[in-house]
A = this chain, B = another copy of it.
């Protein structure tokens, strides 16, 4: 009942597991079957959960899933959302059910998790180089011949490592490899189109490997000069497209379609446009967007990027919505303008910005969140504490008391998801509807 035809686990198997007291966010005093969360009647604003607790707003998730599906359909681009953002099988499932072509991942262990829960097509968007990690991926492909995993290479050394490993496995098909194009001074990837073509030729020539296409990540082009960034992004995408044409002209491809991929969550409109026009080749080109953070967006870094994107798209009225919040309790009110929250670096992102305080609620009173006034800010976090600075003279802030709840938005979903083995999906009234697991 919980096993899929190819041996993967159905998502419903997660609802069968026993959650133990000690699971962050859950008010458990004895073990509870995960699926039973939906009938507990917990409400976050009523203070029914443990605090801190991470919540995902169902309506925003559904909106973002539909929004991105429509965007990709309109642009004629495939979506392989980066799964490292959430590492949540239920969210992978929602993305695939909403038109995603596959799931992008970053490590061999992430690929194993996705495969376990039935993901059938993975784009592994980091270089796969460690011996045991290559073997882990090849073993999946060997044992489950219908599973697809596309990997990257940006060097002859990388190609040689893959080719050597593949020789030890009898794979049903050659291992599809994308050449990674990089950016000077930035991360992985060939630094020039010449180098990239050279690596492409090595892949095409290697026994057991197949050149699947080209890949790059434009999301590193973030500086203080956005106009310049945008020109650089367009130029980078043009380079990627030119590589596909050149490799096709050389006859390096040997698969039914050519893959061409880029796209974080900041410039995916530009990526969709930049990868669109590549055609007239020996075989169809599939442009693939890899954005992961679109799913939850945020109240910080991505809100800013997506506001810019909406302005470019003319879609400000209907953009992506923040879906992820962390709620905690005021544990101390030691000074007039300071509240200490039961939340810290273990619970919310702090790499892009500190959390953004949005709402307060007092359990036992009206079960609606009250917006915090401007001037409230988390100014510091320790491992298990957050320092909420309050503006002087605001009556709501003056009345904020020990035990009151504070809901924070976050900046950079990836580094909040990885702090929660389990997040709670809530409706508009913060009723807890079900749980979502992560596997980091």
Contact = CB atoms under 8 A, between A and B. Distances in A.
B334 A345 contact: no
A197 to B, nearest CB: 16
Interface residues of A, number: 78
A133 B50 contact: yes
B191 A414 contact: no
A373 interface: no
A184 B338 CA distance: 11
A67 interface: no
Interface stretch (A17-25, A58-66, A231-239): A17-25
A335 interface: yes
Contacts of A384: 84, 106-107, 126
A47 interface: yes
A383 B440 contact: no
Given A384-B126, A401-B157, A403-B161, A135 B335 contact: no
Given A109-B23, A440-B24, A127 B331 contact: yes
Contacts of A84: 346, 383-384
Nearest to A183: B334
Contacts of A27: 132-133, 135-136
Interface in A94-153: 106-110, 112-113, 116, 126-133, 135-136, 139
Nearest to A154: B332
Given A403-B157, A419-B418, A108 B188 contact: no
Contacts of A133: 27, 50-51, 329, 342
A421 interface: yes
A112 B188 contact: no
A131 B340 CA distance: 17
A333 interface: yes
A440 B194 CA distance: 47
A21 B110 CA distance: 9
A180 to B, nearest CB: 8
Contact of A126 (B184, B331, B415, B418): B331
Nearest to A185: B335
Contacts of A29: 135-136, 139
